[in-house]
Structure 1
């Protein structure tokens, strides 16, 4: 029997299907709210996954992701190139071209990615590149590799995204501080909440936020929580960091939730948890509208002078 092509392989354990019926959020998000971290995957028959990938996801094509955003009340999004696509950005280019200006992108820049290719990515809406320091995704980039990317994106004002886990944020604190321009750390740095009071990663994370150039995605509460839904421990951490640096935090669904343990979270629940993560309407607007617009070069949202409406549902 002939083995299937690599891009046709069955999904890897840890890549479950998305939640089959996410609830409609009770929280009404401000206009121009942004999902600052999601992935578009496949269809593999059109956009094959990279032969060198370390996992195989279930397809989550652009139409599926757009339908989820409409369901959740999100009108903007930042699409992050997944490592399963490697440095082939065709799926990202396709999504951005179809996005009508409501999408931005984050690329994965390889050794052979040329300045001309980077300028084309910028033209269609890419505004950052990601560095993966997770061993299940790739070997951590060397300083020479990082400097090579920085040289090729020079002058574009791109964001550097850092994907680390647990104590690695403390290990790489000096490197993160040395990077030029704005840096954003993904998914609450995926810190370990087992001993939060004495956690050096949390100390490093807060110190980096205090530097003024480092931002944080308060996404991934389902990844960080040790309690399971509704992820109260991770929500409390996210809320404390939003209060700590309200002008440098953004949020994303992380849809379709690859490389996780157990079933995928309910994305409607994740939106409703924003009422606890950013409990004040002004904080919520910063988190969902103003900050992602500033970080990823979206047009400004509705005038602040109009005043934020209270996003909580009416009490009946």
Structure 2
């Protein structure tokens, strides 16, 4: 990977990358045979080096289908981080209560479900069962939906009795899609929904520096500034296009926000939601 540029701004102390992944090292944490894609090896030390370069102190590492249900690499990173990281798990129903409590003790703070067609849509009864099992832990529910799927999923999302985090601004088919923005605003009005301002590199039609995605991000910030999060989505798996410069992604957020808004999005809201 090409080394990212340094952001033009200095991020506030305690800044958090609320959506990133790690893979490997594969000699210690091999990929499962039934994985849906083949990620490059990007272990925790590489993530740490990226964040140190960008001026990011904290991160939420999201378990990826690249490692499937084997959380060994994620848990090792949480242990190594000694408080620097929190995690989001992929689970199926039936995990023993003691095992869930151990995940919580080590820093897992959420469970994620992907409704992307290329990753396979989970059964909603299964999703409800997992949400019920983790409810006593107070975890959030992260949902990866895309474009038209947001309208279909909105009644289900509204019924979830837990904090809900929508990944990647719900990945509209185009960044100026008014239907997606309206749907996100309606969910935000329920005051139990957070949105990750992430994946500009996947939403753009114009390319870097992602000026065409900026209005969507600013509209969401204007609607609910205290329920916005920011994530790099490093290392950008399954991206069919130019790899982004993470410094540019930071600068995009900086160009849209005041210093106070950046502190809210990067420090205060992640600290509250993820328990830093």
TM category (shorter chain) comes to: over 0.9
What is the aligned counterpart of 2:149 among 161, 168, 173? 168
| Residues 242, 277 of structure 1: 8 Å contact kept | no
TM-score, structure 2 normalization: 0.97
Alpha-carbon distance between aligned partners in 2 of 1:65 and 1:46, rounded to the nearest angstrom: 17
Q: Alpha-carbon deviations, 1:114-173, whole Å to 9, x = none?
A: 3222111100000000011012112x2222101210222121110000001111111100
Unaligned stretches of 5+ residues in structure 1? 1-17, 299-316
Matched position secondary structure for 2:9: coil
Q: How do residues 99-248 of structure 1 correspond to structure 2 at under 5 angstroms?
A: 99-138=81-120, 140-193=121-174, 196=177, 199-248=178-227
| Residues 108, 131 of structure 1: 8 Å contact kept | yes
Q: How many pairs align?
A: 276
Q: How do residues 31-70 of structure 1 correspond to structure 2 at under 5 angstroms?
A: 31-70=13-52
RMSD of aligned Cα (Å): 1.2
Unaligned stretches of 5+ residues in structure 2? none
CA radius of gyration, larger in: 1
| Residues 93, 133 of structure 2: 8 Å contact kept | no
Cα 1:293–1:276 change in 2 (3 A) is same
Cα 1:266–1:195 change in 2 (3 A) is closer
Verify: 1:80 aligned to 2:53, yes or no: no
**Equivalent in the alignment of 2:261:** 283
| Residues 37, 77 of structure 1: 8 Å contact kept | yes
Alpha-carbon distance, 1:263 to partner: 2.6
Matched position secondary structure for 2:119: coil
Return structure 1 stretches of 4+ with deviation > 6 angstroms. none
